[in-house]
Amino acid sequence: MQKLVLLGDEAIAQGAIDGGISGFYAYPGTPSTEVMEYAQRSKEAQQKGIKNTWSANEKTAMESALGMSYAGKRAMVQMKHVGLNVAADAFVNASITGVNGGLIVVSADDPSMHSSQNEQDSRFYGDFAMIPMLEPSNQQEAYDMAHVGFELSEKFNVPVLLRITTRLAHSRSGVKRMEQLEQLKGSLPKDPRQFVLLPAIARKNYKKLLNIQPALMEASENSTYNKYLDGNDKTIGIIACGIAYNYLMENFPNGCPYPIIKLSQYPIPKSYVERLYNDCDEILVLEDGYPIVEEKLRGFLNTGKTVNGRLNGKLPRDGELNPNLVAKSLGINIIEGNNSPEMVMGRPPSLCAGCGHRDMYNALNEAIKPYGEGRVFADIGCYTLGALAPFNAINSCVDMGASITMAIGAADAGLVPAVAVIGDSTFTHSGMTGLLDAVIRNSPITVIISDNSTTGMTGGQDSHALGRIPEICKGLGVDPEHIKIINPLKKYHEENTKIIADELAHHGVSVVIPQRECIQTAARRKRAARKN
């Protein structure tokens, strides 16, 4: 069959399309974004009527996917690792409701935090929810797992977690397609109360989940994605999870002398580990992300054989793995190139020249001067780059939506006025509920919703907020007198500064909405218009 060259993310989307999916649900987030973007570009997905619209946030996406599963069709929800925190309530409870149509949850982790606030490991969530987990080692497996993951989910009546990391998500390679399956027709769950998590039903469902654990173990033991590859040199036995397997094999072009467990389906297949442990003098665990498998193997008291990995310093405790780190952990000497000369300077990302956020920060910095520093709570998006010179304008960036709510708490503590800076997409992701809190308490805060009509940071996806922000604010109860729309352009700098200064002086909730389209999104839109 034909071979495609796909990013890991794209392979997942194509695998799901060929595996009979009926709906993709997602909120953008690096490194998961390209799954949905591929589904939106795919002509096949269009012809098949597969749903592929962005959701407001990861929780709404997760719940919509669960709803599709309830109605008997196959669904996938995709997010970056921290998105799984937002979706966690729905995610964990979905393992208790179980599924009807197959449900795959894709969570893309970002070890080394290339574009993230932390490097949390989604496998913890899979463990916590007690569901099967798939961790592809390459693009082909990413495709295959998305294809067969639905069946796995339906067979055990639970969602399946598909965990990838940045490197696989954003690397291309050849992918062979499998059979193209039809979508399911749709059907109600056999038990009409399966999804009603009243305590009495939830207890019953939870028992079911506990009872299938041995079967999930058996599935891992028999999975074609897990392999026991024996070797003659038993001084070390290696467990290589997901993509770490590639870094290992890169160091052994003529075959690895040590026994290896190639681990790509969880729960961890126990008989494999027993065999490795009994056969070998020491164990080495290679895993991208947190030392999860390693910790389990060591146990709390660590009284067994030596388990090497991130916890005993054989590998760094944090950051992404790579072939050189794996080589070092095995005592292999790689001759590296010369160091880069000292004159090579860091080149941090920055706001584009001509970006409206720049004008917003220039006006805010001037308006806030009389009150002193340390009172601007920002959020996540391109505008977070306002933390860097020359703006040095913001004092926090924690999680999506935290700007408004942190400003509330700081104002409660006496930091008045407190300011929140939030983007349009982040506002509809999880800023609206915080603004309602502020209205109810009449907090003395000024909320700047820097509206560039797009989800800029992740590449310019459509924003749910488009054309709706003033009405949303009014609807939430903000006094219309204190909802101000400004045009963030240099020529209006003085006017804009005055408006912000006036709202800072207002002792209550005010909202300032600088409105100008992201220049990158505008350029893309014009190019697309020219093509049509």
Ligand X SMILES: Cc1ncc(C[n+]2csc(CCOP(=O)(O)OP(=O)(O)O)c2C)c(N)n1
In the bound complex, what is the minimum distance in angstroms from residue 451's beta carbon to ligand SF4? 10
CA distance 51 to 13: 12
- Cβ-based neighbours of 522, under 8 Å, separated by 6 or more: none
Indicate the residue type of 257: P
Of residues 264 through 323, those in contact with another protein by CB under 8 A are 322-323
Radius of gyration of the chain from its Cα atoms, rounded to whole angstroms:
25
301 binds, among ligand X, another protein, ligand SF4, none (CB under 5 to 8 A by kind): none
Stretch of residues binding ligand X (CB under 6 A), selected from 91-99, 277-285, 311-319, 455-463: 455-463
Residue ranges in 355-394 that form contacts with another protein under rule CB under 8 A: 382, 385, 389
Which does residue 323 touch among another protein, ligand X, ligand SF4, none (CB within 5 to 8 A, set by kind)?
A: another protein
Judge residue 399's burial from the number of C-beta atoms within 10 Å of its C-beta, 0-12 exposed, 13-18 middle, 19 or more buried.
Answer: middle
Residue 275 to residue 279: CA distance in whole angstroms: 6
Applying the rule CB under 6 A, the residues between 360 and 389 that interact with ligand SF4 are 382
Q: Which residues within the stretch 424-453 sit at the binding site for another protein (CB under 8 A)?
A: none
Pick 156 or 258: Cβ nearer another protein: 258
Place of tokens 């992404």: 320
Helices marked H in 309-415 — which ranges?
323-329, 356-368, 402-412
Least Å from the CB of residue 221 to ligand SF4: 48
The residue within the footprint of ligand X, chosen from 454, 496, 497, 515 (CB under 6 A), is 454
**Contacting ligand SF4 within 439-458 (CB under 6 A):** 452, 456
Our CB check for another protein shows the closer of 88 and 388 to be 388
* φ, ψ dihedrals at 6, nearest 5°: -130, 150
Could you check whether the bond before residue 514 is cis, i.e. omega within 30 degrees of 0? no
Q: Report if residue 360 touches ligand X, rule: CB under 6 A.
A: no
Residue 497: half-sphere exposure toward Cβ, Cα within 13 Å: 15
Does position 345 interact with another protein (CB under 8 A)? The reply is yes
Give the three-class secondary structure for 476.
Answer: helix
Q: Is 395 a binder of another protein (CB under 8 A)?
A: no
- Find the part of the chain contacting ligand SF4 (CB under 6 A) among 27-35, 475-483, 495-503, 513-521: 513-521
Distance between CA atoms of residues 10 and 139, nearest Å: 9
Interaction of residue 172 with another protein, rule CB under 8 A: yes
> Six-digit token pair at 114?
């290339």
Long-range contacts of 326-330 (CB under 8 A, 24+ apart): 326/244, 326/247, 326/248, 326/250, 326/251, 326/286, 327/251, 329/284, 329/286, 330/236, 330/251, 330/284
Binding partner selected for residue 519 from ligand SF4, another protein, ligand X, none, CB under the kind-specific 5 to 8 Å limit: ligand SF4
Binding-site member from 174, 313, 316, 477 for another protein (CB under 8 A): 174
Instruction: Write out 467-480 in H/E/C secondary structure.
Output: CCHHHHHHHHCCCH
- Of 263 and 445, which has the nearer Cβ to another protein? 263
Distance between CA 357 and CA 489 in Å, rounded? 10
At a CB cut-off of 8 Å and minimum separation 6, what does 95 contact? 129, 130, 131, 158, 159, 209
Choose between 362 and 463: whose C-beta lies nearer to ligand X: 463
Confirm or reject binding of residue 340 to another protein (CB under 8 A).
Answer: yes
Q: Is 166 in the site for ligand X (CB under 6 A)?
A: no
Of the pair 110, 144, the CB lying nearest ligand X is at 110
Residues that bind ligand SF4 (CB under 6 A): 351-352, 355, 357, 382, 452, 456, 518-520
Residues that bind another protein (CB under 8 A): 3, 5, 7, 30-31, 33-34, 114-115, 167-168, 170-174, 243, 245-247, 249-251, 322-324, 327, 334-341, 343-352, 382, 385, 389, 457-459
